[in-house]
Amino acid sequence: MPAASLALEVRALRKTFGTVVAVDGLDLDVHSGECFGLLGPNGAGKTTTIEICEGLQEADSGDVIVLGKRWNSDERALRERLGVQLQETQFSEKITVEETISLFRSFFQRGPAVHEIIGLVQLDEKRAARVGTLSGGQKQRLSVACALAGDPELLFLDEPTTGLDPQSRRQLWDLVEQLRASGRTILLTTHYMEEAERLCDRVAIVDQGKVIAIDTPRALIRSLGAEQVVEVELAEGAAVPTGLFATTDGVLESRHGPVWTLQVSAAHRAVPAVLRTLEAAGLSMTELRTHTPTLEDVFVSLTGRHLREQ
Amino acid sequence: MSNNEPKPVSWNPQSGRSTSPLLQLTLIRFREFLREPEAVFWTFIFPLLLAGGLGLAFRSRPADVAKVGILTSAPAAETIRAALAGDSTLQLVSLDDTAAATALRIGTVALVVVAQDAQRVEYRFDRAREEARTARLMVDEALQRSHGRKDAVAVTESLISERGSRYIDFVLPGLLAMNLMGSGMWGIGFSIVDARRKKLLKRFVATPMRRYHYLASFLVMRLGLMVIEVTVIASFGYFAFGVPMRGSLVAFGVACLLGALVFGSLGLLVASRARTIEAASGLMNLLMLPMWVASGVFFSAGNFPDAVQPIIQALPLTAVVDSVRGIMIQGLGWAQLLPEFAIVTTWLVLSFGVALRFFRWR
């Protein structure tokens, strides 16, 4: 890829807060026109990274080039070209949807008409409603609407669907897909693997301030080499030998948490073998599940932990 | 359904701003204010209620009547009561021991007379209270006269009751200045801290918004509201109590403008670092409380000892109160107002400069 087609370059980024290392030598390349996801658990350094890219925090060291420019020399020009949605902005409750978007629109030199933005985020009916009366999903769409006020080339979305109900989440996903289809570059952070799988062309898995894997969701999942994942929950109180399934037929990798997570080559061969292993060890189980591997399994395989604490 | 191709966004971005960002920000300020009924009450209604209440409580009465208690348990209570009864400036109340003590403590009588016999009386009163000292003189005068005292010097009285010398004339300009302080500091300080707490400030900084537009929108709003506040309070004083406006309206306007700006800037200063409403609240009270007490809003700042006068005179509220009161009541001209205006301008420049320098945008 030639450098010109990079919307965002991040090199050896580092940021500490006191003794806590939030970002620890992070590298990223986001190509123009792609939807790129930073996937990781809470506290992985996603928000710090995205806010440094947005020019809202300063890095201790490292280099960030946004749309070919740097923050310290081209801040004003950059702000005109970026759309930013922050994780926890609360807009003025007494102000209406239309007034809020008009305000943001007035900050930008160029951009779509206010009614076009309202139409895109499907808030037409709430045009004259005060922000305080909106639902969580509507507020989040308003937040994205404000980020679109300058018709941005590069859009930053920080955990856009956190805390939303499934229907609101799907509405927001549709909106992001529309934006992606119109050629905008999108960088989003999330700790929902299904969100990253559905929306992102490429995903960087972030843990403890570092990128530990970066590829398309499909390639990341394929890298596991497993066809299926089997989860086994044992009856409580039983003494569980470590390496219980180490030699079980068809099990590629096993992890021991509150449940056993087994990556298997073929479920129809592995499941009977798992049951035989349990039988031989004199253990009983309460639940057995199988699913096709997801980014969650990739994360578990890389870190030994789950994206969300269970 | 997810297998439907998402529709690309089709809109026609227009070059050029829709409207001026300063105008939009200012409109938002006014909407936020007007849609908050409490804010409207405290800014416009409360000072009127306060001025009305104080005006009624301290209205000029034809002649002051002193309320005097007679201690019934004293041996010569009835004799003394009869001696004083003829004086129309005294209102007599008979009280037993506990009632007398209570009445003195809560101020329902200014003084209690304890009559041992026809020749010996004792006055019980609080020397620090002005009406108690007056009552002592009036009771003593009536008592001595009834026992035959004659005047050594012939005296005639000519009474005047001039507009501008009543308590309402004193307190209304003070309330006006205090209102400029309160609404300036709370109005600006709270909005900014609230926006910072809600990460709205950070969200604005992430756009090409000019930061001075944001701060300027608050000052523009303050000036707009100031015109309304000042007009409402001053006309209420003029029409309801006849509080005069002896100086030039232009000088009055400048004094109010400077007042609104200086307290707006102090509000900005308080809000420049604070992350929580509680922190800002504490700072506000720390700044405002001494001025409420010392700056001569309700009583003359001259009551404080000479040693602290230089400090009191340098306070922004003192300067605003003195200039507004001087213009309304004494009709002071520009030359006489110069020291006050200089003090206010110094505060304005200092607080605005420091606030800008240390403002926390994120």
pLDDT value of position A310: 45
Give yes or no for B37 touching A (CB within 8 A). no
Which residues does residue A255 pair with via DSSP β-bridges, in sequence order? Answer: A261
Total Cβ atoms within 10 A of residue A128: 9
Say if the Cβ atoms of B19 and A102 lie within 8 Å: yes
Among A207, A223, A173, A212, which residue's Cα sits nearest to residue A35?
A: A173
Q: CA angle, corner B121, sides to B118 and B123, nearest 5?
A: 155
**Chain A residues close to B35, C-beta within 8 Å:** 94, 130
Q: Choose the closest CB to A104 out of B23, B205, B207.
A: B207
pLDDT band, residue B223 (cuts 50/70/90)? very high
**Inter-chain Cβ pairs, chain A and chain B, closer than 8 A:** 121
Asked if residue A133 has pLDDT above 80, the reply is yes
Say if the Cβ atoms of A112 and B203 lie within 8 Å: no
Residue to test with chain A: of B11, B15, B40, most A Cβ within 10 A: B11
pLDDT value of position A309: 59
Determine contact, residues A161/A171, Cβ cutoff 8 Å: no
Among B256, B267, B268, which residue's Cα sits nearest to residue B226?
A: B256
Determine contact, residues A263/A234, Cβ cutoff 8 Å: no
Contacts of residue B30, Cβ cutoff 8 Å, sequence gap at least 6:
B221, B224
Residue to test with chain B: of A35, A92, A139, A142, most B Cβ within 10 A: A92
Rounded distance between C-alpha atoms, residue B258 and residue A108, angstroms? 33
Q: CA-CA distances (angstroms) from residue B248 to A139, B13, B320, B327? A: 52, 53, 16, 7
Give yes or no for B17 touching A (CB within 8 A). yes
Global pTM reads 0.81
Give yes or no for B30 touching A (CB within 8 A). no
Give yes or no for A80 touching B (CB within 8 A). yes
Give yes or no for B211 touching A (CB within 8 A). no
Say if the Cβ atoms of B18 and A102 lie within 8 Å: yes
Sequence spans of domains, chain B: 21-57+166-358, 66-146
Say if the Cβ atoms of A94 and B31 lie within 8 Å: yes
Question: In this prediction, does ipTM exceed 0.85?
Answer: yes
% of chain A surpassing 90 pLDDT: 66
Give yes or no for B3 touching A (CB within 8 A). no
Among B22, B79, B26, which residue's Cα sits nearest to residue B223?
A: B26
Find the range with the poorest average confidence among A97-111, B44-58, B89-103: B44-58
Asked if residue B156 has pLDDT above 60, the reply is yes
Q: Can you list the domains of chain A with their CATH numbers?
A: 3-221 (3.40.50.300), 225-292 (3.30.70)
pLDDT digits (tens, 9 = 90+) for A140-192: 999 999 999 999 999 999 999 988 999 999 999 999 999 999 989 999 999 89
pLDDT band, residue B1 (cuts 50/70/90)? very low
Asked if residue A3 has pLDDT above 50, the reply is no
For residue B211, give the chain A residue with the closest CA.
A107
Asked if residue A125 has pLDDT above 60, the reply is yes
Say if the Cβ atoms of B206 and A94 lie within 8 Å: no
Positive/negative CA dihedral, A304, A306, A310, B1: negative
Residue to test with chain A: of B191, B203, B218, most A Cβ within 10 A: B203
**Stretch B61-66: mean pLDDT, rounded?**
65
Give yes or no for A89 touching B (CB within 8 A). yes
**Chain A residues close to B37, C-beta within 8 Å:** none
Say if the Cβ atoms of B208 and A86 lie within 8 Å: no
Determine contact, residues B26/A194, Cβ cutoff 8 Å: no
**Chain B residues close to A182, C-beta within 8 Å:** 8-10
pLDDT value of position A278: 87
**Stretch B88-99: mean pLDDT, rounded?**
89
Q: Look at strands B90-95 and B66-71 and give their pairing.
A: parallel
Average pLDDT over all residues of chain B? 88
Question: Could you tell me which residue, B18 or A251, shows the higher pLDDT?
Answer: A251
Asked if residue B165 has pLDDT above 80, the reply is no
pLDDT value of position B62: 52
Tell me the two tokens of residue B98.
């506990």
> What CATH number was assigned to the domain covering residues B66-146?
3.40.120
> Shortest Cα distance from A69 to chain B (angstroms)?
16
pLDDT value of position A208: 92
> Shortest Cα distance from B6 to chain A (angstroms)?
5
Phi and psi for A265 in degrees, rounded to 5? -80, -40
Rounded distance between C-alpha atoms, residue B361 and residue B104, angstroms? 56
Q: Choose the closest CB to B199 out of A79, A90, A113.
A: A90
pLDDT digits (tens, 9 = 90+) for A34-56: 999 999 988 899 999 999 999 99
Say if the Cβ atoms of B6 and A181 lie within 8 Å: yes
Tell me the two tokens of residue A183.
């050629």
Determine contact, residues A198/B2, Cβ cutoff 8 Å: yes
Which residues does residue A37 pair with via DSSP β-bridges, in sequence order? Answer: A188, A203
pLDDT band, residue B16 (cuts 50/70/90)? confident
Asked if residue B3 has pLDDT above 60, the reply is no
Asked if residue B58 has pLDDT above 70, the reply is no
**Stretch A218-229: mean pLDDT, rounded?**
88
Give yes or no for A69 touching B (CB within 8 A). no
pLDDT band, residue B8 (cuts 50/70/90)? confident
**Stretch B193-200: mean pLDDT, rounded?**
94
Give yes or no for B23 touching A (CB within 8 A). yes
Asked if residue B59 has pLDDT above 70, the reply is no
Q: Choose the closest CB to B15 out of A84, A110, A180.
A: A110
Rounded distance between C-alpha atoms, residue B80 and residue B84, angstroms? 6
User: Cα–chain-centroid distance for residue A176?
Assistant: 13
> Shortest Cα distance from B5 to chain A (angstroms)?
9
Give yes or no for B18 touching A (CB within 8 A). yes
pLDDT band, residue A238 (cuts 50/70/90)? low
Report DSSP state, residue B14: E
- Token look-up 């209406």 returns A96
**Stretch A64-86: mean pLDDT, rounded?**
95
pLDDT value of position A219: 93
% of chain B surpassing 70 pLDDT: 95
Total Cβ atoms within 10 A of residue A69: 14
> Shortest Cα distance from A278 to chain B (angstroms)?
40
Say if the Cβ atoms of B8 and A110 lie within 8 Å: no
Residue to test with chain A: of B207, B210, B218, B275, most A Cβ within 10 A: B207
**Chain B residues close to A107, C-beta within 8 Å:** 21, 204, 207-209
Q: CA angle, corner B180, sides to B177 and B182, nearest 5?
A: 110
pLDDT digits (tens, 9 = 90+) for B34-56: 998 888 888 888 878 887 887 77
- Give start and end residues of each alpha helix (H) in B237-276: 249-271
Positive/negative CA dihedral, A267, A268, A272, A273: negative
